[in-house]
Structure 1
Amino acid sequence: MTLDASSRRGKLYRVVAVSFGLLCILQAAVNISLRLSLYSSSTKIIKYLTEEGEDLKRKLSILDHYLQQGWVYSNNSFYYNSSNQKSWQESRDDCRQRGADLIIINSKGEQDFARGFKRLTWIGLTDRETEGKWKWVDGTDLKTSYWLTGEPNSNGGREDCGVIWSYEKENSWNDTPCTEENFWICEKMVA
């Protein structure tokens, strides 16, 4: 073997060794990058799950709080049915003090739910502002109604507040003087 061939072979070994060394460094860099990326993703996932768990705990705490105060949960709202009787305005004031308002009935399901309390109860419906133009306490116009046959009749302009009059019939609303004392249902929407 000549010196020239030996020298070339030595250079070749050095190139292979340097290349192998660079390949090892590149592999280490890729491994570190992947681990950091995986760690970052894992950290994000853990943070997300922790936040979701905290949100669920908060929601359960709110639910427990309302249930302990006598509220009933149904279809994204809490409902409170009073144990005493007051005028329509006093009933509404009580609901507002509870962070709610008188019930707004938006569906047949909610109508059936409200009738399920099985008592004469104020609802958040009035035509005190304009006779014959019934509005809910949130200012929206009445679109779907469940009036008893012949109602609302206003009885000479003296009946301006809505009440569930009969729990035995689907169409169970009546207009009655707002000064009468009845039970009431508060509704608090869940965000």
Structure 2
Amino acid sequence: MLLPSTLITFALGISLLKTSTASPSQSVQKWDANACAVVVCGPAQNGLPGRDGRDGKEGPKGEKGSQGLQGLKGSQGPPGKMGPAGLVGGKGSPGEKGTKGDIGAKGGTRAFSSAEKGAKGDRGKWWLQGNSGLQGPKGQIGSPGLKGDKGSVGEKGTKGDSGLSEINLLKRQVSTLEGQLRALQSSFSKYKQVIMFPNGRIVGEKIFMTSGYEGNFDSLKQRCSQAGGQLASPRNAAENAAIQQIVVLYNKSVFLGINDIQTEGRFKYLNGENIVYSNWQTGEPNNDKGIEDCVEVHSSGKWNDKSCGEKRLIVCEF
């Protein structure tokens, strides 16, 4: 227990050695070395500092407190290291075929000035190919290239005929004479056959002849064919008049090489061509009784359709 104004030190069996004053505000009493020292501060203004509690025993551990509230989200950390490269992309589909370029000058390589370079495309991501830049404008046509090397010599051609040499001229003359000879032989053969038919008529290049034979259409056609001709088939008024003269001379009607056997009402020559000339009698052809398919010529020169089975005078043309 502290007394109001003095410090009392008790020591059992030990005497007081010395009393000293540290300062006007503090009184310190000391004992000998074998005694326990007790310092009691009186009413001095400031005493000596006390010892910290490091020498004290650690108190019991408190219970775990409840989890506190979640703190605010921290700021974004620095970027991480670059990741490994991605797999190579598949091959793209081929682009459309470009337009054909201009043809170079003949005989050499054609030079072209390079077109201006298009603008550089944006750089894509490191694992993707960037977009292609825009195509630059077409460059101007360059000057003609150097003359090309001379080509190799071609194979030797076959020897051509010489110009209008004397031999070629003779060959042509012989060829012309041979053609004329063939024409004469053909004409001679024709006239030789016509000898069988007296009392004929000539109109232009045609000869109309009769032998006086009478028969139906088919037999007359066959006789004329065997003689190298055919039944008379007038194609104009002059030829029809020559046939008329023979009819008057023999006073017998003749069959022409004209009929409508194939198609009723459509008269044709023996070669199947449609007729180009006619001289029908008034009211003819009328196909009387439905059996008149052949054509006869009267002394008047007029035509009439008649049954092909009737017999008429033969007149052939050569």
Structure 1 partner of 2:91: none
Equivalent-residue separation in structure 2 for 1:40 and 1:175 (angstroms): 61
Aligned mates of 1:105, 1:77 — CA distance in 2: 10
What is the match of residue 127 of structure 1? 260
Write out aligned runs for 1:1-191 (5 A): 40=167, 43-44=170-171, 47=174, 50-51=177-178, 54-55=181-182, 57-59=184-186, 61-70=188-197, 72=200, 73-117=202-246, 118=248, 119-166=252-299, 168-169=300-301, 172-188=302-318
How many residues were matched structurally? 150
Deviations 1:127-184 (A, max 9, x none): 1222212122111113321011111111121211101023x34xx1011111111112
User: Which structure's residues are more often strand, by fraction?
Assistant: 1
Cα shift readout 1:94-123 (whole Å, capped 9, x = no counterpart): 222223221221111111111111231000
Q: Relative to structure 1, is the Cα distance of residues 59 and 158 closer, same or farther in structure 2, using a 3 angstrom cutoff?
A: closer
**Aligned equivalents of 1:42 and 1:132: distance in 2?**
56
Alpha-carbon separation, structure 1, partners of 2:276 and 2:180:
40
* 1:56-85, Cα deviation, whole Å (9 max, x unpaired): 652553254134222644322233323121
1:42/1:60 CA distance change after superposition, 3 Å: same
Distance 2:293 2:173 in 1: 56
Report the Cα distance in structure 2 between the residues aligned to 1:43 and 1:51, rounded to whole angstroms: 12
Compute the RMSD of aligned alpha carbons.
Answer: 2.7
For the 8 Å contact 1:83–1:183, the answer to whether it is kept is: yes
Q: CA–CA distance in 1 between the matches of 2:253 and 2:237?
A: 18
Secondary structure in 2 matching 1:132: coil
Unpaired runs of 5+ residues, structure 2, are: 1-163
Tell me by how many angstroms 1:53 deviates. Answer: 6.2
Q: Quick one: higher RCO (CA 8 Å, sep 6+), 1 or 2?
A: 1
Letter in 2 for 1:180: E
- 1:14-33 CA distances to partner (integer Å, 9 max, x unpaired)? xxxxxxxxxxxxxxxxxxxx
Equivalence for 1:27: none
Change (3 A) 1:40 1:175: same
With 58-67 and 130-139 compared, the bigger mean Cα shift is at 58-67
Higher Rg of the two aligned structures: 2
